[in-house]
Amino acid sequence: MLSDFAAKVRNRRNALGLTQEELAEKANCHVNYIGGIERATRNPSLTIIISIAKALEVPSKELMPN
């Protein structure tokens, strides 16, 4: 589940041409946290998932596993 979320975040970030630093700034969290999410070593809270989805300009459900 985490690896699917991680891949979706990374793919969407890359599609928007954002760096991890830029995504972290837009989502109001630390760049190391974004890196951990993308490596599937962090288990983000619902609040963080919503913040990341807004920063990536997608509904949060699009980042959730199929």
3 state DSSP class of 34: helix
Say if 66 falls within a structural domain: no
Q: Is residue 65 situated within a structural domain? A: no
Angle between helices 20-27 and 31-38 (to 10 degrees): 110
Domain assignment present for residue 13? The answer is yes
Range of the domain at 20: 2-57
With a CB cutoff of 8 Å and minimum separation 6, the contacts of 62 are 8, 53
R_g over Cα of the chain: 10
CATH number at residue 27: 1.10.260.40
Q: How far apart, in whole angstroms, are the C-alpha atoms of residue 21 and residue 60?
A: 20
45-58: pLDDT as tens digits: 999 999 999 999 99
Give how many domains the chain has, as a whole number: 1
The encoded tokens of residue 63 equal 């980042």
pLDDT of residue 25: 98
Tell me what percent of the residues of the chain surpass a pLDDT of 90.
92
Residue 36 covered by a domain: yes
